[in-house]
Structure 1
Amino acid sequence: MLRELGRTEGAADTLDVLVRDQDTRRLLLLRALLDAAGAAPATRCPPRSLDRLHRDWALLEAAEHADRTAVRATLLHPLVGPWARRCLRGLIGPTTRPGPGLRAGLDHLSALAAAAAIRAGLPFTTRLTAHRGLLALPALGALRTAPATTTTVTATHRDGRLTLRGAAGGPLAAHVQPDGSLCSADPRWLPVLPLPAAPPGLGPVPLDDTDPCRGDTSGPGPYGPRAATPVDDPERKTWARYWTAAAPLLRTGGPHRLTETATLLRCLVPLRPPPGAGPAPTGPGAAQYSGTRREAFGAVLSSLPATPAHLAATLVHELQHTKLSALATLVPLHQNNPEPRHFAPWRPDPRPLDSLLQGTYAHLAIAGHWQRLALAAGSVTHRDLGWAEHARCREQAAAALPALAGSAELTREGRILVNEMIAIYHRMGDFPPPADHLARAQAYVATTRVIWRQRHGPRGP
């Protein structure tokens, strides 16, 4: 499995091992959250909140008896992970009196239980709480309520019809659709768009722009993704069109790319475009942000890509991070040295060994993907795009591989992985890019190295 993953591949059986481990950890996390609430002092989890948690848990158990698969899909929704971790930290952290964020977080379990029961087709009536003008049902959508207020909403579900009472404007009715989505004609309801199933085996995947836990509260950093953002109807249609068109491009990039997308991807989270890119960036020169969150296994966060080809490449790129992070939770790949000291030509700042390994791994996968697209391209434009992207990514990986190969911090398993990465790098040399594309890529990496050394000194390779 390590050798297979080291080649940036992964058959269904191999990926299933990673998925099962991540799913087990999620269920343990949810159980740990309930146990921590029971053990917490009343200043953290008052008796009223604890009673509500137990009622919500009972609804989850009843829903699981009705339809275990539907409930597990809700509990394993990627954005449930950041919420559960945040609540657990609030319950067991050093602060004596946690802020209102913990109370709002614990209230969210009611929405999670309701969403699971809706997907399981279980009739129920329960009370939910909207905070800051929003009541979100994970992976289904959200109700807009009065802004900057806390609103109690009574939710009733019968025969595929959800009725929400208590918000300004009167009751709201929403209906479960055949694809599992929850739709309403009421403008207060913000649905999660299920991206259409794209053969073979891709989708439907939710484009989740409503979940309050989709943003990274630690901040984007100077080079990372910006905050998640809601999208309007034209942009949703663009996402759906790009998603459908990306499937054949992933297939061209190799059958393993379709397999890993179908196995690992559980939702897409739209991000705001980078500064200066405009509200809806399109065209080959459009800038883009993308990323993953380790606590949100299965989520890919991205601003709208320039083209379907760039969406396919984004999925390849980010799912390598998903894959490698899941592998690293099963087996240590290196000693945990957080010192940022390595040159990475895709970043202007020094990187620790783990980040260098992650970035090199992803760039090797993208290089192989673009190479296959270039070799199969039917037009000069597509062929040039493929070769240009392939050459750049492969040369960037080439600049980072020596530091990985020479690192004494790799474990035995990490060494196996890196050796396979080196082998796949050399194997791509059997089909070299045109000389002009190679020269430009080499010049780009060389310039990046010079600038990096001027800023940070002669560290790294």
Structure 2
Amino acid sequence: MSPVPEEALRELGRTEGGAEALRLLVRDQHTRRLVLLRALLDAAADTPPARRPPGALARLRDDWALLEAAERADRTAVRTVLLYPLAGPWAQRCLHGLTTGAPDGGDSPELRADLDHFGALAASAAIRARLPFTGRLTGRGGVLVLPTLGALRTGRDEPVPVDVTLRGAELTLRQADAAPVTVRVYADNPDNPASADAAAPDVPVIARSGDPRWLPVLALPPVRPGAAPVPLDDLDPYRTAGTGAARHGLSAVTRLDARHRTAWARSWAEVEPLLRTGGPYRAEETATLLHCLVPLAPPPGSTPAGGGPAQCSGTRREAFGAVLTSRPATAAAFASTLVHELQHTKLAALAALTPLHHEDAAPRHFAPWRSDPRPFDGLLQGAYSHIALADYWQRIALAADRLAARDQAWAEHARTHEQVGAVLPVLAGSGALTKEGRVLVNEMIAVYHRLADHPPPPGHRARAASYVRTARMIWRQRNAT
């Protein structure tokens, strides 16, 4: 019996997904994260002493004990940290280092740094749970990062010990030869003194200090009332670790100054109305699935301020809930980026829950949105995200008052709709789709035909068809097929 009810599968196939379907994906991903963390601790215990840094196992057990104490104080606070999207890449990298490292790799600085980061996660969980504690952490690369909260500037690239103490709502960070930094930890509204006393579930926690050495994580407002704020995380050391970002067309991560943070916040403020216009489920899936934005540097072709047409974005399967993106030039482009990337999030989570096909991974297929041959799974992922974009841009076009905005939306719709039409026959013709995969593809085909009920102006259709024909011709020349 499939772990995914057929109605939920059909909803997801239409790139929709009601509350229960989305919760099913989230629950499964969260369970996988907790199993991964348990596997990490077990691997540390099973790894021969020569292959792990001296004292690492004792330190891990101490950190785990702090996590357990914090969970007894506030389970929600601990899960917020452990299920944070960027804790996934860290856990996988750490587990890989423990299980596949060289026999004499116990003094590997990378593995030592990865294992030390568990202490920062445990400390962040204790801080969120308001559990008084004292511990010693290690800053690296000029900062000590407390995931989900912020970072202390240490001013030194080499490893720096930092003593961390939490008493009530006051966090104190001390490093040798420097004055201590005091950070005030608030729940909800930092201007309301009562909010420092206790944090209710799902209430945002804010860590602020008047000391410029403390860098807080910027929290963007919730997409809708009752949802959680969205961290704009330019601090976490694992935000692109191991992605091979340049290989996938992504620019480097960036650290935001006050001006750029303001620009991101301004763009974000205009996104929610566009998500609602772009479909009755877009705001809900964003509120449910998006738990972190990682800002990337503007790619080549952008203006120095990050504007212009050029943009890049991506997701990571091991960082469920995170979207990596350079700042889009317009709010409509920002919303479309979320629509695009969250479809990848949904489909990857669905494929982890139930197999969708048994095709091999050979890169052989033409995709109008890529210049290189794609494996079947990549073709399915791309078609799924592009059919959602075609739906989004059509709704934006039909609702637009201004001619220029309507014209641009129709152009985007026509292009993405034509691109999907070029690859749907390949997906539909596969004999390796599972029963669940067949339902998914059939629903995608139904959406494709439904969108044709409101065609774009003829000029846009003609240009889109020419665009795809040209892309196919170039692809064949480049790939000698």
- Whether TM-score is above 0.5 comes out as yes
Q: What secondary structure is seen at the aligned counterpart in 1 of 2:95?
A: helix
Task: Report the Cα offset of residue 95 of structure 1.
Answer: 1.8
Query: Of residues 127, 150, 157 in structure 1, which corresponds to 2:166?
Result: 157
Q: What secondary structure is seen at the aligned counterpart in 1 of 2:16?
A: coil
Q: Matches of residues 23-172 of structure 1 in structure 2 within 5 Å?
A: 23-46=30-53, 48-98=55-105, 99-166=108-175, 168-172=177-181
Q: 1 CA distance for matches of 2:17 and 2:258?
A: 36
Q: 2 CA distance for matches of 1:150 and 1:250?
A: 44
Q: 2 CA distance for matches of 1:62 and 1:390?
A: 52
Task: Report the Cα offset of residue 457 of structure 1.
Answer: 2.7
Q: 2 CA distance for matches of 1:336 and 1:181?
A: 46
1:174 matched to 2:197 = no
Equivalent position of 1:271 in the other structure: 296
Equivalent position of 1:317 in the other structure: 340
Cα deviation 1:282-311 (Å, max 9, x = unaligned): 2xx520010000000000000000111111
Aligned length: 456
Cα deviation 1:348-393 (Å, max 9, x = unaligned): 1110001000000000001101111111111112211211111111
Q: 2 CA distance for matches of 1:93 and 1:391?
A: 48
Q: 2 CA distance for matches of 1:279 and 1:191?
A: 25
Q: What secondary structure is seen at the aligned counterpart in 1 of 2:183?
A: strand
Task: Report the Cα offset of residue 31 of structure 1.
Answer: 0.8
Q: Matches of residues 300-379 of structure 1 in structure 2 within 5 Å?
A: 300-379=323-402
Q: 2 CA distance for matches of 1:23 and 1:131?
A: 29
Task: Report the Cα offset of residue 97 of structure 1.
Answer: 2.6
Q: 1 CA distance for matches of 2:159 and 2:61?
A: 21
Q: What secondary structure is seen at the aligned counterpart in 1 of 2:386?
A: helix
Cα deviation 1:377-417 (Å, max 9, x = unaligned): 11112211211111111111111111111122222211111
Cα deviation 1:136-159 (Å, max 9, x = unaligned): 111111112133211111000112
Structure 1 contact 145–167 (Cα < 8 Å) conserved: no
Q: Which amino acid aligns with 2:61?
A: H
Q: 2 CA distance for matches of 1:120 and 1:165?
A: 21
1:237 matched to 2:244 = no
Query: Of residues 368, 393, 415 in structure 1, which corresponds to 2:438?
Result: 415
Task: Report the Cα offset of residue 135 of structure 1.
Answer: 1.0
Q: What secondary structure is seen at the aligned counterpart in 2 of 1:181?
A: strand
Query: Of residues 270, 278, 282 in structure 2, which corresponds to 1:253?
Result: 278
Cα deviation 1:50-95 (Å, max 9, x = unaligned): 1111111111011111111111011100000000000000111152
Equivalent position of 2:22 in the other structure: 15
Task: Report the Cα offset of residue 202 of structure 1.
Answer: 4.9
Q: 1 CA distance for matches of 2:98 and 2:56?
A: 12
- Cα–Cα, structure 1 residues 167 and 253, in superposed 2: closer, same or farther, change >3 Å? farther
Query: Of residues 401, 408, 411 in structure 2, which corresponds to 1:388?
Result: 411
Equivalent position of 2:454 in the other structure: 431
Structure 1 contact 155–162 (Cα < 8 Å) conserved: yes
Cα deviation 1:250-274 (Å, max 9, x = unaligned): 0111121111101100000001111
Q: What secondary structure is seen at the aligned counterpart in 2 of 1:43?
A: helix
Q: What secondary structure is seen at the aligned counterpart in 1 of 2:454?
A: coil
Q: What secondary structure is seen at the aligned counterpart in 1 of 2:43?
A: helix
Q: Which amino acid aligns with 2:40?
A: L
Q: Which amino acid aligns with 2:173?
A: L
Q: What secondary structure is seen at the aligned counterpart in 2 of 1:345?
A: coil
Amino-acid identity (%):
62
Q: Which amino acid aligns with 1:28?
A: V
Q: CA RMSD in A?
A: 1.4
Task: Report the Cα offset of residue 167 of structure 1.
Answer: 5.1
Q: Which amino acid aligns with 2:207?
A: L
Structure 1 contact 145–168 (Cα < 8 Å) conserved: no
Q: What secondary structure is seen at the aligned counterpart in 2 of 1:142?
A: strand
Structure 1 contact 146–167 (Cα < 8 Å) conserved: no
Q: What secondary structure is seen at the aligned counterpart in 1 of 2:136?
A: strand
Q: 2 CA distance for matches of 1:221 and 1:240?
A: 26
Q: What secondary structure is seen at the aligned counterpart in 1 of 2:205?
A: coil
Q: Which runs of 4+ in 1 moved over 4 A?
A: 200-203
Q: Which amino acid aligns with 2:13?
A: G
Structure 2 contact 53–112 (Cα < 8 Å) conserved: no
Equivalent position of 1:442 in the other structure: 465
Q: What secondary structure is seen at the aligned counterpart in 2 of 1:139?
A: coil
Normalising by structure 2, we get a TM-score of: 0.92
> What residue ranges of structure 1 are gaps of 5+ in the alignment?
none
- Cα–Cα, structure 1 residues 218 and 311, in superposed 2: closer, same or farther, change >3 Å? closer
Deviates more, 1:347-356 or 1:200-209: 200-209
Structure 1 contact 267–299 (Cα < 8 Å) conserved: yes
Normalising by structure 1, we get a TM-score of: 0.96
Q: 2 CA distance for matches of 1:94 and 1:46?
A: 12
